[in-house]
Structure 1
Amino acid sequence: MKHFFMPIVLALISLPTFGQLFVGKVDIDKSDSIKVIEVMIAEKMSNKYVDVYIDFGQKSNFKAGSIDNNPDDQRITDSTTGKPVRFKSTADVLNFLEAHNWDHYDSVIIADRGERLFYYYLRKK
């Protein structure tokens, strides 16, 4: 009975978070006005995780040089804890976004002094 009950409980726990992709406090999957996103991934050679920032047209983005620019508003966050999701590689980020029905259509890579910046452009499927 325990072997039957446990998978059902785990499946039910994961249901509320499926299909939700939060950037800051905005669920970009549910917003009809967000069609395209720009993803900047910074890979530092000395870091074991990559830094991921998403621009969907919000006030706070990685190009805005204003004093009230908040990088937490640009990060993918866990819908239950509100904490930023950590990714180990660029492929990890792209697989995560593909699983959330975002389709990659263009990219740019810039290398500068031990850091690589990847810009990926994705649209909703």
Structure 2
Amino acid sequence: MKKIYILFLLLSSGAFGQVFVKGIDINRLPDVKVCEMLLLEDFVVSSGVEVAVDYGQKRSEFEGKITDASGKAIKFPSAVAAINHMEGNGWEYINNSVIQKGRGVIYRYYFRRKSNLSDTH
């Protein structure tokens, strides 16, 4: 029973998850309310997608990689996997746009921080 309770706690903590960008947990940055996930899909050479997040930091395009806590880039096999990562870690999908670039496509997904019940008082 204790193991089930611990598993429940781990699974229910998604609203307070962590999204790391170059090793920085953007969920802990109080001024970051929205972010943009850039996703490059290269039709010729890619076996996955290239993902970067812009939360207002200084960066060049595709420099803000989603990483683990140690700063190692996370590789996503598809756009849906990257979106699910954001949704499962405290961010809500708002909108998107698509841009054709060279032999690939850049998808721009916009997210807002999910509000928790304590923010409504």
Mapping of residues 25-40 of structure 1, within 5 Å: 25-40=23-38
Number of equivalenced pairs: 106
1:85 to 67, 74, 83: 74
State the secondary structure of the residue aligned to 2:80. helix
Q: CA RMSD in A?
A: 2.4
Is the CA contact 1:55–1:61 (under 8 Å) kept in the aligned structure 2? no
Is the CA contact 2:37–2:51 (under 8 Å) kept in the aligned structure 1? yes
Q: Distance in 2 between matches of 1:43 and 1:111?
A: 10
Q: Distance in 1 between matches of 2:85 and 2:29?
A: 18
State the secondary structure of the residue aligned to 1:29. helix
Mapping of residues 1-125 of structure 1, within 5 Å: 19-45=17-43, 46-62=45-61, 71=63, 74-79=64-69, 81-125=70-114
Q: Percent identity?
A: 33
Q: Deviation at 1:82?
A: 2.1
Amino acid at match of 1:25: G
State the secondary structure of the residue aligned to 1:47. coil
4+ runs deviating over 4 angstroms:
none
Q: Distance in 1 between matches of 2:19 and 2:36?
A: 14
